[in-house]
Amino acid sequence: AIHVAYLGTNYLGSQWQGALTTPGVVPTVEAALEAALTKVGAIAPHNAGDISKVGWSRSSRTDKGVHSLGTVVSMKMRLHPQWLSVRGDLDPVYANKLTDAINDALPTDIRVLCVQRTPKQFQPRRACRVRTYAYVIPSWVMRSSTERSDDVSLPPDNATVDRFRSALQALEGSHPFHNFTSRSVYVN
């Protein structure tokens, strides 16, 4: 598994876009990660350009401009024999060197945090126990239309902030998102 963090500002989402994911055409986080993995030899050249060939799976995906602190990607990675311990596990020293090599091949707004070996049946989306979302909204967007100004450093008035906070309370907590999944049965 590869643990990845990224700033999504320069990307049209995290998810691979198939044939449209030509570098420079539809930039996605997964396209950049796949290119870096191919460059360091973790993906064989004949498998490059089609992530389904390496069993690519992710814990989650993000939309255009969204950042992530902990996306997990799993795949059948090509490991050089010198990266393995006597037992056949990924040697921790080489795991760190592999992480560094991948980061050297990635744009600076995408970072691999670590690489670890997982069982063949590992599925990051199903293994994920908690997802935490944080939404950051600049305060200047809350200013009323009569307060509009080119100066984004001016804060909104207190009454507007209070109304906004009150409205946001409806979004706090745990909510069933079963309508957004492939399985429409909700289990509380």
Could you give the residue numbers annotated as active site?
63
Across the beta sheet with 110-115, the strand order is 57-58, 68-74, 2-6, 110-115
Separation CA 157–CA 87 (nearest Å)? 64
**Going by DSSP bridges, is the β-strand pair 57-58/2-6 parallel, antiparallel, or unpaired?**
unpaired
Separation CA 70–CA 58 (nearest Å)? 11
Count CB neighbours of 169 within 10 A: 8
Query: Under a CB-based contact definition with an 8 Å cutoff, are residues 106 and 112 in contact?
Result: yes
- For 140-144, the CB contacts below 8 A with 24+ separation are none
